[in-house]
Amino acid sequence: MSGAALLEQLRSARMVDLTHPYAVGMPYWPGRLQHPFEHIVEEVRPRVWGGCFTMAEHSGTHVDAPRHFVAEGRSAEALKVEEMILLGVVIDVSDQAATDPDYSLTVDDIRRWEHRHGPIPLGAAILLHSGWGRRWRDAEAYLNKDAEGVLHFPGYSGEAARFLVQERRATLLGVDTLSADNMVRTLAEDSPVHRLVHEADGLILENVAHVEKLPATDFILFVSSIPIEGATGAPARVFALV
């Protein structure tokens, strides 16, 4: 196939942008080495404008590299282009999350999905649709912090992550919230999803936008993260071809 024919074929597919714009005031994980996004643009000389921004590695729509939880794991610049193009599936738990903000995907949820859509393709990227993305422009609602400072948002359970990584060979788990581990499980079980995925040299994609615009299966996911040397994670432009 020629390059022109391939380009025409790609352009004929529906594209879904899965990236939140990086903007001042966007939600971010609180704590040490976390920093709100800041951006300054100025006229540096007549009719020439330039700017600079500061942010944490794990801000906005971003990839967690294995080094995030594994001291000798791969850092952001070591991630390969070919592992950033994947078949994708979406598992919808928005109904459960609507009544339980701490809901965690279960193995039973996965089996129900497979009963309806067929087995998850080996090596596919898994995106969790919790409905949390609609809160993105309201940082307070997105973090959903209680009186004691604990954040409440949906994520994966350690059991579900283990099933996806070990039984379905998933190399990337994504979510439309701050973290694949919701904070309740992070505090109780020490971030089981991150530890399991990163120990298997896999990636985690967080703060994914517009997951509700994707079908349950049959799309191609593109994750274009910045190769920052030594970084534990990096911002990414993420999109899908349907």
Q: How far apart are CA 224 and CA 236, in angstroms?
A: 5
Active site residue 68: yes
CA 58 to chain centroid, in Å, comes to: 10
Q: How far apart are CA 115 and CA 7, in angstroms?
A: 35
**Per the structure block, which two tokens stand in for 206?**
């967080």
Which amino acid makes up residue 184? V
- Residues contacting 71, CB < 8 A, separation 6+: none
**Per the structure block, which two tokens stand in for 53?**
């921004």
Please tell me whether residue 44 adopts helix, strand or coil conformation.
Answer: strand
Which is nearest to 125 in space by CA: 167, 74, 168, 157?
168
Bridge partners (DSSP) listed for residue 128? 91, 175
Q: Which of 20, 58, 62, 68 is catalytic?
A: 68
* Residues forming the active site: 68
